[in-house]
Amino acid sequence: RGSLVCVGTGMMLGAHLGPRARRHIEHADVVFVAVSDPLVELWLQQMHPDVRSLQPLYAEDRSRRDTYEAMVDALLTEVRAGRHVVGAFYGHPGVFARAPHAAIAQARAEGFDAVMEPGISAEDCLYADLGIDPGTFGCQHYEASQFMLFQRRIDPSAYLILWQVGLAGDRSLRRTHTSPAERQLLVDLLATDYPLDHEVIAYEAATLPISQVRREHLILATLAHARLEPHTTLVVPPCRPLQPNLALREKLAALDPGNT
Ligand code: SAM
């Protein structure tokens, strides 16, 4: 009977793959890979004789929605054929990644065993590289275009992390970059909660042991013209202190006067 495991390879080549994920790869019948770097594919090929790249499914001018569907089809076709299938995705397979969640849900709906094995995501690297603890002030994560296209209530006393900021404002799901004019609309939106001279960070984790982390501090007003790549994550630090909730403090004190 076929089965599916979606594993994360982590962000850095050769450094982040967990032992459970590795064992799944070694014991699979077929391994599909969607990773950020062709070198990572070569590395995985050393662990298994049948490693198939999902990268060609990102054909030019194809909507990413169609690409994700094609990925799910590729994985499920082999599961239905009775194989033990592994989908290896860079970072964490369930973090800002649709295909692995969709493939697992589909496989389960068809009665197959399907599980996800976590990996080290860009988020994990960001906390380490930038020295941020998400528990200190709280931390909000949004996909940049979704953040623009829907009404959100953000808390400027917490960190704000915007994923896919290089694609901010893209509704076609076909582009890898958006224009400065589109990004300016993101700046204008952020400027409703943050001063224009607020410092933000363009972050790129190192994906090879020899490559450098990018942690570029920028002024919010200049963001539209900054270098923002498909793999850039934007970090917006808090711009105001935590506001005490006096009413709730009073209610807690009424329950237990010693609890102050
Ligand atoms: N599943 C991935 C993970 O666990 O990190 C995230 C995939 S999501 C489709 C792509 C987004 O992840 C990028 O637009 C960027 O925000 C972030 N990302 C990917 N690679 C990155 C890197 N090297 N450094 C920082 N952020 C990265």
> What's the predicted TM-score (pTM) here?
0.95
Of all protein residues, the one whose alpha carbon is nearest to atom 2 of ligand 1 is 91
- Atom from ligand 1 closest to the CA of residue 92: 4
Tabulate helix, strand, coil % of the chain (nearest 5): 40, 20, 40
| Tokens coding 27 | 């014991």
User: What was the pLDDT predicted at 16?
Assistant: 94
C-alpha 84/C-alpha 260 separation (Å) is 56
Report the nearest atom of ligand 1 relative to the CA of 120. Answer: 4
What is the C-alpha to C-alpha distance for residues 47 and 49, in angstroms, rounded to an integer? 7
Rounded Cα–Cα distance for residues 40 and 76 (Å): 23
Q: Please name the residue whose Cα sits nearest to atom 14 of ligand 1.
A: 164
Instruction: Point out the ligand 1 atom lying closest to the alpha carbon of residue 94.
Output: 1
The per-residue DSSP string of 29-90 comes to SEEEEE-S-HHHHHHHHTT-S-EEE-GGGS-TT--HHHHHHHHHHHHHHHHHTT-EEEEEES
State whether the Cα torsion 57-53-121-222 is positive or negative. Answer: negative
87 forms beta bridges with: 6, 32
Cα separation, 99 vs 139, in Å, equals 25
Question: What pLDDT was estimated at residue 62?
Answer: 81
* Amino acid identity for residue 77 in this structure: T
Check if the beta carbon of residue 235 is closer than 8 Å to that of residue 165: no
Contacts by residues 215-223 (CB-CB < 8 Å, ≥ 24 positions apart)? 215/129, 215/130, 220/187, 220/190, 220/191, 220/194, 220/195, 220/196, 221/187, 221/196, 221/197, 223/183, 223/186, 223/187, 223/190
Within 6 Å (CB) of ligand 1, which residues are found?
A: 11, 36, 91-92, 95-97, 121-122, 163-164, 203-205, 207, 230-231, 233
Tell me the residue type at 36. S
Record the tokens describing residue 28, joined without a space: 């699979």
Query: Which residues are known to be catalytic?
Result: 64, 68, 90
Output the pLDDT for position 174.
81
**Residue partners of 77: CB distance under 8 A and separation at least 6:** none
Spatial CA neighbour of 125 closest among 230, 246, 207: 207
Two tokens, residue 130: 């930038």
Alpha carbon distances (Å) from 29 to 48, 49, 65, 172, 196: 9, 9, 27, 36, 53
Query: pLDDT 10s digit of each residue in the chain, 260 long?
Result: 999 999 999 999 988 999 999 999 999 999 999 987 889 999 999 999 999 999 888 877 788 888 999 999 999 999 999 999 999 999 999 999 999 999 999 999 999 999 999 999 999 999 999 999 999 999 999 999 999 999 999 999 999 999 999 999 888 888 888 899 999 999 999 999 999 999 999 999 999 999 999 999 999 999 999 999 999 999 999 999 999 999 999 999 999 998 87
